[in-house]
A and B are shown apart, each in its own frame.
Chain A
Amino acid sequence: MAAVEETRTTFVAPPASRTPRWLKPTGRILTIVLIGALFAFPLYWVVTMSFKPLPEWNPPGKVYWWPDNPTLENYEKILGISSGEQSVFATGRSRSAVEFLVNSVVAAIGGTILALIVGIFTAYGIARFRAGGRMLPFQILQLRMFPPIAIIIPLLFFYVEIGLWNKEYFGWFNLGLIVLYGAVTFPFVVWLMRSFFQEVPREISEAAIVDGCTQWGAFFKAVLPQVKGGLAATALFVFILNWSDFLIAKVMTQDNNSTAPVYLQSLQGGASGNEYGLQAALACILIIPPAVFGLLIQRYLVRGLTFGAIKR
């Protein structure tokens, strides 16, 4: 303490900064830019790749850092606007990913709705009535710890047995996938919605009951409107999780019934060689919904990914 310098003891209003002195602003900015560039490069690469024509994809001995002849061809092919017969890698396989994207959208939305319906009630029961005792919330959390493949293998046998495996009703409604997506993301709904329900004062539902509502009426008319924002954030968050799935769709579906990420993987290697441009176009399409929704629910992202343990 004796070594404290004169200038420091006369320090009146310390600046708000907590940054150490040795990190001079320029060095700091440079480090941030460098790390930022490293983190940005993969995204830069996939976006530019999606605009590159075939000769610039991955020719031996030359790297195209920028698309020299930018083209929308990849997107047109992947969205089925033009057929890709001119490609030297052309195969008999359908090149349009529209069918797979439709499957992805249906399964992700269906799974989200199922998880929400079941999860909201469970969350309210836990938050408001401590239903299921103290253990239930943690059983639900533990569910997230199991590697999904370990659970999906037995369910695969079951699905094969009852004919749900790789089964699409009406050509687009994959019931088996939707049920699994709902079950797998259900814990997130419970944890997120529980943290939102806890923020609603108990008096609100009690006032509704005093005014003549039943418990259910109080829930739907008084409590639920209070958590509208949280509900929307939860829905988008769960949609992102379902949209991002690869493993479950890979195990549970095949060929034309699978989802877009599985199709992306099937374009890799094999008889047709790597179709980087097409894959990149599909990859960019796959990135857009989560990126948009993720930015919309930025505030709740950390809460969601940490099961409500960390609130911002």
Chain B
Amino acid sequence: MEAHTEELKARQAPARRLPDFGGRQEKSVARTLVAPGQLLMAFIVLFPAAIAIYIGFTSWGPTTGVDFWHAYEFWHWFDGYWEALTTVAFWEAMWRTVLITVVCVAVEFLLGFGLALLLLKNFKGRGLVVVFFLLPMMVVPAVSGFIFFMIYQLDGPLNEALDLLFGVGPVNWLQNADIAIWSVMVVDIWQWAPLMFLIFLSGLAALPEDQMNQARILGASFYHQLRYLVIPMMKPILLIALIIRAIEAFKIFDAIYLLTQGGPGNATENISLYLFDETSANTRWGYASSVAIIVLILVSVIGYWAIRPIEQAQEETLEELTGAELAADVAAEQRVEEAIEAEARV
């Protein structure tokens, strides 16, 4: 009996699954599959957000001598938020974060695109060169901060090289407040321009060869090829690369911490370092929570739009796959139905 129903189910399987992927059993399996993931997401987003909202309304900290649960004794509503929004240091940190993000991403973009154009044509040892450019990406960010710390020393190789080549006196790369922020950016550019390069290289290689050759034969200049063919065709890829790098550049912490710890003064302090300082050095946990909430809100709002192009790219590949699959399903369905009808007629 059991075996018989099993068999029937199997025969009915196509009809059950056709338009949506419903079916009671599938739904419960699906729910079970994603439940642990949703739990983990709650732990890493909702839970900390809830704590931050609670603590953000207080001036609680480890130095108050009261434990976490009694933080409400220090309740002060929006004072923390107000303080953040009226503090110069917070806005300066925000401004530096934006500056670092914009400059790093722009330079990485240009460098990566240029390199990709340079390396597009195949030559002997090209594969090796590509692998070679992969290496900076693999370096632990804290380590790359440390490496540049050595290079930037007053008696270090960079100043020595500048002296040998151009006779320029030693530059205080890390202690000069005007220069330090640019020194910090170089590290991120060194590490992540290769990612842009890799993305663009694969994008350029995938351009339709015929159209490109046609354009060249008809006498289109390099600039025109770039302006009217390459960039429009690569637009989705360019956009995704920019967004992903911007997201990461916004969060830089490790390299800056190893290089300057936000100094001199707070000349290289971005929002991550500002938050870290308020938490660890100043132990103002209530205030840090308010700032964290402000940052989370900002990022969520910006992120809602920033994610769109990535979402689109992923949906497209998804549609490609499931679209083809659905068509095949429908065809199979029809064949089964025809067979059943034929059987019924007999």
Which A residues fall within an 8 A CB radius of B? Answer: 1, 3-5, 8-9, 11, 14, 16-23, 28-29, 31-32, 35-36, 39-43, 45-46, 49, 58-63, 65, 117-119, 121-122, 124-126, 128-132, 136-158, 160-161, 179-180, 182-184, 186, 190, 195, 198-199, 201-202, 206, 209-210, 212, 215-216, 240, 243-244, 246-247, 250-251, 261, 264-265, 268, 276, 279-280, 283, 286-287, 290-291, 294-295, 298, 301-302, 305-312
Contact = CB atoms under 8 A, between A and B. Distances in A.
B231 to A, nearest CB: 14
Interface in B47-102: 47-52, 55, 62, 67-69
A84 B6 CA distance: 72
B310 A309 contact: yes
A63 B155 contact: yes
Contacts of A141: 307, 310-311
B199 A302 contact: yes
Interface stretch (B25-33, B177-185, B336-344): B25-33
B104 interface: no
Contact of A186 (B37, B203, B251, B292): B37
Contacts of B143: 46, 261, 264, 283, 286-287
B40 A280 contact: no
A39 B194 contact: yes
Contacts of A301: 134, 137, 198
B140 A261 contact: yes
Contacts of A149: 253, 272, 275-276, 279, 292
B133 A39 contact: yes
Contacts of B281: none
A309 B207 CA distance: 17
A19 B244 contact: no
23 contacts: A3-B219, A8-B219, A29-B123, A35-B118, A36-B132, A45-B151, A49-B150, A63-B157, A129-B21, A145-B306, A147-B253, A147-B272, A149-B272, A152-B48, A154-B48, A158-B51, A180-B44, A190-B37, A264-B142, A264-B258, A265-B258, A309-B240, A310-B203
A183 B40 contact: yes
Contacts of B18: none
Chain A interface, >50% SS class: helix
Q: Is the interface of B mostly helix, strand, loop or mixed?
A: helix
B136 interface: yes
Interface of B: 6, 10, 13, 21, 25-27, 29-31, 33-34, 36-38, 40-41, 43-45, 47-52, 55, 62, 67-69, 111, 115, 117-121, 123, 129, 131-144, 146-151, 153, 155-157, 160, 190, 194-195, 198-199, 202-204, 207, 209, 212-213, 216-219, 222, 225, 237, 240-241, 244, 247, 250-251, 253-254, 257-258, 271-272, 275-276, 279-280, 285, 288-289, 292, 295-296, 299-300, 302-304, 306-307, 310-311, 313-314, 317-318, 321-322, 325
A246 B257 contact: yes
A285 B240 CA distance: 33
A294 B150 contact: no
A286 B254 CA distance: 14
Most buried by A among B44, B50, B310: B44
B319 to A, nearest CB: 11
A295 B131 CA distance: 7
Contacts of A302: 195, 198-199, 202
A280 B317 CA distance: 44
A132 B27 CA distance: 10
Given A11-B217, A143-B41, A268-B146, A148 B140 contact: no
| A-B complex: 3 closest residue pairs judged by Cβ atoms | A122-B37, A125-B33, A20-B222
A293 to B, nearest CB: 8
B321 A246 contact: no
Among B143, B217, B240, B304, find the residue whose CB has the most chain A CB atoms closer than 10 A: B143
B121 A153 contact: no
Nearest to B212: A18
A35 B119 CA distance: 12
Nearest to A132: B34
Contacts of B136: 39, 42-43
A216 to B, nearest CB: 7
A179 B48 CA distance: 14
A61 B276 contact: no
Contacts of B55: 154, 157
